[in-house]
Structure 1
Amino acid sequence: MTSYDGPAVRRAVARFADLYRTVFTAPPWSEGEDRVGEFGARLVDDTHRPGFRAVVAHLDGRWVGFSAAWPTQSPFPANRSYGAVLRQLGADRVAAELVGALEVDEVAVGPAAQGRGVGGRLLEAVLATAPDRRAWLLTWTTSPQAVGFYQRHGWRPARPVPVADGQLVVFLSPDRPRPSARGSA
């Protein structure tokens, strides 16, 4: 595993985008090339967020996976998928559980490395930098494999996992205190 700060990611954005292409243009995501370009631009923007970090996994000297994360700032953003997260959890719960926690934006593992523990090691590497190991991420029911992966690694859905395809699922890190343990509802 190699850690990257914002400037290092900006210098290597093409490599991140190539790996993103390999992972996310294949099923179940089947994203188009336009989304790969959007990812590259979004990643560059994200590198300017306070506390941004990325981790790259290597296998036989090749990039086989990466994760990017940063602490979620207040006020909670409204762009991208944040509005859907806010609608799903409500403002009070977002403020109590997500703001200040590490937001894991991407976990991408190339097909050749899947099933070899790379994704779990990426999650653990970014989680090790989380304040009080408080972190969150989201995925979609479009990929039951992704939902199952996070559950197998101890991440728990903030709400029951929707049955319908294409629905947002917010996951909370495995060993974070439950809200009631911190005195919030």
Structure 2
Amino acid sequence: MHTYGRDILEIADELTTAYVEVFTAPPFEHRDAEETRNAFRKRLEGDAGRDGFQAWVERSEDGRIAGFVTGWTTPAPFRTDRSYGSVLDRIGAEQVEDLLIGAFEVDELGVLAHARGTGLARRLLEHATQANKRSWLLAWNQNHHAIAFYRHLGWQEPEIRGPEHDILVFVTP
């Protein structure tokens, strides 16, 4: 497994292709591949410059990306773009402050079809959280497999204090 910082941009095209393969397959088949490609690539270029940005990439024996995880340290003040506003609504400002600010935010976790069932997702999360004892992530409420996986690993959902949204928040045990 290779660890990256800002140098993730050296493999940005390859990582973007892997991302699109993962996040346009079920349960994300409703997503347009080209829009997904463009949005992820643009986000990656900005995210790589964030404080605490890290990525881990595992390759198959044939050299192709098998899986990846990216993330960074959640800064204060807490953002409100993307899904962050929903997080704030769902768990409240106090829990955001206590559980998320200063913790490692697992932004993307993907394992390509050819590497599923090998324990790679678990290993990727372990690498990301080993160096970052406080970590958190979001899951789409329709990604039932991922939700079950996080729960199986012992990730926990903070107390819900606001309205339901289409995302779930998980924190490390």
Report the TM-score when normalising by structure 1. Answer: 0.86
Following superposition, the deviation at residue 67 of structure 1 comes to 0.3
What corresponds to 1:124 in structure 2?
126
State how 1:154-169 maps to structure 2 within 5 Å.
154-159=154-159, 167-169=166-168
Tell me if the contact between 1:9 and 1:44 (Cα under 8 Å) persists in the aligned partners.
Answer: no
Residue 140 of structure 1 corresponds to 140
1:94 aligned residue: 96
Cα shift at 1:151: 1.0
RMSD over aligned CA atoms reads 1.4
Q: TM-score, normalized by length of structure 2?
A: 0.92
Alpha-carbon distance in 2 for matches of 1:32, 1:159: 34
* Runs of 5+ consecutive residues of structure 1 not aligned to the other structure: 175-185
Aligned to 2:42: 41
Q: Given the alignment, which residue of 73, 98, 101 partners 1:71?
A: 73
Higher normalized contact order (CA 8 Å, seq sep 6+, divided by chain length): 2
Deviations 1:80-121 (CA, angstroms, capped at 9, x unpaired): 110000000111110111000000001000011111100000
The alignment partner of 2:121 has SS state of helix
- Matching of residue 2 in structure 1 with residue 23 in structure 2: no
**Unaligned residue ranges in structure 2 (runs of 5+):** none
Equivalent pairs counted in the alignment come to: 167
Mapped to 1, the partners of 2:154 and 2:9 lie a distance apart of 32
Contact 1:136 1:170 in 2 (8 A): yes
Q: Percent identity?
A: 38
CA distance in 2, matches of 1:41, 1:153: 31
Deviations 1:19-63 (A, max 9, x none): 001101111012212022101100110011001010001221321
Post-superposition CA distance 1:165-184 (Å, at most 9, x none): x721100012xxxxxxxxxx
Assess if the C-alpha contact under 8 Å between 1:155 and 1:173 holds in 2.
yes
Letter in 2 for 1:68: T
Corresponding residue for residue 80 of structure 1:
82
